[in-house]
């Protein structure tokens, strides 16, 4: 009997707490076609589309189809997979694209991080990702975020940007699109959160069942995906057309986005123990867990290590 693990993800990429086993009859040969869940066209998933457009999956005998939801074999929602793993859903991140958060704090005036003391800072929601990231980064910068900064739940990036412009708050946590708006509006960068902390965003994840039953196909997929990541990192101009095509931005915006976020990407699809510990602590904070899960629970980088060996010149 053949078992396929089907997971349902929300539009935002957050993995829901239910998982369904679909059972079919007959032993099927390992398929060349694989379904890849890609909840958005964020830059953190672009290396997968580079691998597709450059033919790297085809080189490995694979034909990926990218889907927004439904049954899939791999997901590009590495953050969702990590969060699900913290809740004992059997998912593993097998390749890491980004290991630092692409979030910034902007203000109307030039401020150092320490000068945020006593000021109002717009976040998305209490307990949300921007809240958790801001607390971690501000603590690293020398502030007590729970006592010395007034956090204001202001909604989406656009809403946080509007709150900052309207003087409702003195500063706001913004992602890359919000950062570009703030920069054009003459607002001032206070802190790049990724300077101080780690956080998983893009990558590749699959089920523990897939790892156990289809390691050969998994290895081929990770090898192709890693090759796409390496091309993306080394070839800005060659990657811009893929960004334009899938992200629906013009070349100038794609270039600025690339240059702004490239420092958040890993060089080899892997990250060390400090990153893993930070990631599980972050997810425990977001989920309100009493106990932090083991740092290696969300990760299995065995295939990424082999892929690096395979791709050595």
pLDDT at residue 27 tops 90: no
Given this model, what pLDDT does residue 208 score? 95
Same domain? For 87 and 227 the reply is yes
State whether 279 and 216 are in the same domain: yes
* pLDDT band (50, 70, 90) for residue 313: confident
**Residues 157, 185 within the same domain:** yes
Predicted pLDDT at 149: 97
- Strand pairing category for 188-192 and 103-107: antiparallel
7-21, 81-95, 113-127, range with the lowest pLDDT: 7-21
268 plus 136 within the same structural domain: no
Report the share of the chain in percent with pLDDT over 70. 90
Among 58-72, 103-117, 238-252, which stretch is predicted with the lowest mean pLDDT?
58-72
What is the reported pLDDT for 21? Answer: 32
pTM for the full predicted model: 0.84
Q: Is the dihedral of CA 44, 46, 49, 54 positive or negative?
A: negative
Q: Considering only CA atoms, which of 99, 130, 280 is closest in space to residue 202?
A: 99
Same domain, 88 and 208: yes
**In the structure, what pLDDT confidence band is assigned to residue 238 with cuts at 50, 70 and 90?**
very high
Claim to verify: residue 92 and residue 203 sit in the same structural domain: yes
Average pLDDT over residues 293-307: 97
pLDDT for the residue 2: 39
SS (H, E, C) the chain: CEEEEEEEECCCCCEEEEEEEEEECCCCCCCCEEEEECCCCCHHHHHHHHHHHCCHHHHCCCEEEEECCCCCCEECCHHHHHHHHHCCCCEEEEEECECCCCEEEEECCCCCHHHHCCCEEEECCCCCHHHHHHHHHHHHCCCCCCCCCEEEECCCHHHHHHHHHCCCCCEEEEEHHHHHHHHHCCCEEEEEHHHCCCCCCCEEEEEHHHHHHCHHHHHHHHHHHHHHHHHHHHCHHHHHHHHHHHHCCCHHHHHHHHHHHHHHECCCCCCCHHHHHHHHHHHHHHHCCCCCCCCCCCECCHHHHHHHHHCCC
Residue 189: strand pairing partners: 106
Same domain, 227 and 90: yes
Which pLDDT does position 177 carry in this prediction? 84
223 shares its domain with 242 = yes
If you average pLDDT over residues 205-222, what whole number do you get? 96
Over residues 43-59, the mean pLDDT reads 96
- Beta carbons of 140 and 198 less than 8 angstroms apart: no
Q: Among 173, 195, 217, give the residue marking a domain's end.
A: 195
Q: Give the pLDDT score at 25.
A: 34
Average pLDDT over residues 53-80: 92
* Total tally of structural domains belonging to the chain: 2
- Average pLDDT score over residue span 213-224: 97
| Region 4-28 average pLDDT | 37
Q: Are residues 109 and 175 in the same domain?
A: yes
Q: Which of 157, 126, 3, 143 is nearest to 71 (CA)?
A: 3
How does the average pLDDT of the chain come out, rounded?
Answer: 89
Mean pLDDT in residue range 207-235: 97
Choose one of 154, 173, 195: the last residue of a domain.
Answer: 195
Distance, in Å, from the CA atom of 31 to the CA atom of 28, rounded to the nearest integer, reads: 8
Same domain? For 153 and 15 the reply is no
pLDDT of 24 over the 50 cut = no
The CATH code of the domain that includes 204 is 3.40.190.10
Tell me, yes or no, whether 91 and 208 share the same domain. Answer: yes
Higher pLDDT: 19 or 115? It is: 115
140 in the same domain as 260: no
What is the domain range of residue 78?
A: 2-100+199-310
Position 120 pLDDT exceeds 90: yes
pLDDT tens-digit map of 139-183: 999 999 999 999 999 999 999 999 999 989 999 999 988 898 999
Q: Which of 170, 195, 220 is the last residue of a domain?
A: 195
Contacts of 48 (CB under 8 A, 6+ apart): 36, 38, 64, 66, 76, 204, 225, 228
pLDDT of residue 7: 41
């Amino acid at each position: 009997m053949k078992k396929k693990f089907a997971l349902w993800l929300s539009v935002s990429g957050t993995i829901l707490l239910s998982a369904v086993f679909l059972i079919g009859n007959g032993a099927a040969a390992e398929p060349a076609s694989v379904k890849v869940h890609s909840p958005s066209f964020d830059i953190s998933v672009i290396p997968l589309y580079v691998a597709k457009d450059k033919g790297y999956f085809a080189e490995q005998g694979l034909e990926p189809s990218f889907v927004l939801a439904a049954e899939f074999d791999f997901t590009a929602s590495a953050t969702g997979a990590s969060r699900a793993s913290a809740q004992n859903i059997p998912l593993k991140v097998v390749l890491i694209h980004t290991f630092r958060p692409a979030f910034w704090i902007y203000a109307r005036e030039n401020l150092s991080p320490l000068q945020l003391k006593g000021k109002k800072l717009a976040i998305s929601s209490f307990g949300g990702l921007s809240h958790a990231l801001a607390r971690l980064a501000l603590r690293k910068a020398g502030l007590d975020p729970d006592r010395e900064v007034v956090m204001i739940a202001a909604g989406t990036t656009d809403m946080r940007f509007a709150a900052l412009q309207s003087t409702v708050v003195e500063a706001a946590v913004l992602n890359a699109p919000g950062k570009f708006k703030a920069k054009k509006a003459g607002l001032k960068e206070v802190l790049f959160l990724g300077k101080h902390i780690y956080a998983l965003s893009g990558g590749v994840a699959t089920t523990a069942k897939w790892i156990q039953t289809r390691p050969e196909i998994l290895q081929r997929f990770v090898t192709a995906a890693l090759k796409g990541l390496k091309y993306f990192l080394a070839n800005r101009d060659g990657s811009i057309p893929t960004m334009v095509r899938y992200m629906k931005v013009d070349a100038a915006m794609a270039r600025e986005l690339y240059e702004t976020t490239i420092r958040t990407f890993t060089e080899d699809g892997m990250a060390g123990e400090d990153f893993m510990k930070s990631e599980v602590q972050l997810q425990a904070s977001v989920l309100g867990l009493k106990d932090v899960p083991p740092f290696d629970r969300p990760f299995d980088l065995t295939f990424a290590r082999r892929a690096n060996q395979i791709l050595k010149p």
